[in-house]
Structure 1
Amino acid sequence: MKFLLGKKIEMSQMFDEKGNVIPVTLVEAGPCVVLQKKTKEKEGYDSVQVGYGKLVKKSKIKKTMKDKEYRHIRETRTEASEEAKVGDQVTVAIFKEGDKVNVIATSKGKGFQGGVKRHGFAGRNTTHGAKHETRTIGSVGQRFPQHVIKGRRMPGRMGFDRITVKNLKIAKVDEVNNILAIKGAIPGHRGTLLQIKG
């Protein structure tokens, strides 16, 4: 099972043998704990549930949080042959340099944005009689069918989407500090929860 939860630390850079710069994203990955194992016979599919980020028990705590030991709990599909047991600890040791991984993250939220920023519209003329129209989106329809067609690109809320970046290469594995250096950029701000799948 090559699945790990982590959080984005920051972007940095490394150098290869020839002195070329390699942009990397540093990720604090794991350690995660297997909390539950689902089987096809009982639940209808094979999967493993892992927890990340141990919560500190407080004297005054909400009732809904009483039984939750981990800040983040996620599930991933597995093969029936995989031998993952409840209580097993998963660390960065499951990955090695050169492995290709898919990373799932939530992109930065930009709030309500216009068509030029959100969709890359060109905008209108800045001269020749144009007044207060520079960043407007223009026409949104025609006389028939007298309503805006579904899917029309318009201003709206931008960002804060679940994004999967595929085939990212692991540049370095630091087992002592539980840190992965992944080549390339990963969506989200610092501290964003990441799901890393091998």
Structure 2
Amino acid sequence: MCNILLGKKLGMTQIFSKTGDTIPVTILQIGPCTVTQVKTKQQEKKSYIQIGYEYICPQKLKKPNINHFKKNGIPCFKYLKEYKTKSADIPKIGQILTINKFSVGNYVNISGTSIGKGFSGYQKKHHFNRGPMSHGSTNHRQPGSIGAGTTPGRVFPGKKMAGRMGNTKVTIKNLEIVSLNTRKNIIIIKGSIPGKNGNIIYMHKK
């Protein structure tokens, strides 16, 4: 069974429980996805499944991508995702995967790209403390020393410094499915997920 499906984030809202509690939820449109490639490695005892999401005109793709879909006799897709599995239940090429395997109360992991916030300084990105603001101080928002002088004579990789903030892959685990609509491929998740509306997300079933 497929344990990963692709979809889009539609937005956030809130619903009310039977006791009147407010529940913040995220609305997702998941699938339908199509199996575009299956590779099985007997030595590793693993299978690599590639799925496609959102149909696209072949004229917008390059020849190698078009031939990849044409070889398997399936339509062209804009987004592809590959995952590996050890399960004996391997889907076939061209099989359409939907959210029918999910149900209310299931817990899933969702991965997406967080919202980019541009170039940010030390205080905003890493929550550094500021320098003294009194008269005569020349260090208000500067980082201070970033390393020794002669030894080692360089800045170590991974040093917390100013730079681009956001726009990275983020995974939120153990999100509960509150509601789903199999006819419209809509899933309502309790809580928030990374990214802005319209972003592509990957849903992993636990």
TM-score relative to the length of structure 2: 0.86
SS of residue in 2 equivalent to 1:138: coil
Q: Give the number of equivalent residue pairs.
A: 196
SS of residue in 2 equivalent to 1:110: coil
| 1:25 matched residue in structure 2 | 26
| 2:104 matched residue in structure 1 | 97
| 1:4 matched residue in structure 2 | 5
2:88 pairs with 1:87: no
Letter in 1 for 2:38: K
Q: 1:32 to 1:122 in 2, by over 3 A?
A: same
Q: Distance in 1 between matches of 2:34 and 2:188?
A: 22
| 1:119 matched residue in structure 2 | 126
Answer whether contact 1:8 1:27 (CA < 8 A) is retained: yes
Answer whether contact 2:45 2:86 (CA < 8 A) is retained: no
Any idea what the Cα deviations from partners look like across 1:50-71, whole Å, max 9, x if unmatched?
100001344x865455446000
Select the residue among 169, 173, 190 that pairs with 2:197.
190
Which stretches in structure 1 are left out of the alignment for 5+ residues? none
| 1:140 matched residue in structure 2 | 146
RMSD: 2.1
Letter in 2 for 1:137: P
TM-score relative to the length of structure 1: 0.89
Q: 1:25 to 1:71 in 2, by over 3 A?
A: same
Give 1:44 shift: 6.5
| 1:152 matched residue in structure 2 | 159
SS of residue in 2 equivalent to 1:17: coil
Of 168-177 and 79-88, deviating more is: 79-88
| 1:40 matched residue in structure 2 | 41
Which has a greater percent of helix?
2
Letter in 1 for 2:47: D
Letter in 2 for 1:141: G
SS of residue in 2 equivalent to 1:135: coil
Answer whether contact 2:46 2:86 (CA < 8 A) is retained: no
Q: Distance in 2 between matches of 1:163 and 1:62?
A: 29
Q: Distance in 2 between matches of 1:165 and 1:187?
A: 8
Q: 1:150 to 1:80 in 2, by over 3 A?
A: closer
Give 1:186 shift: 0.6
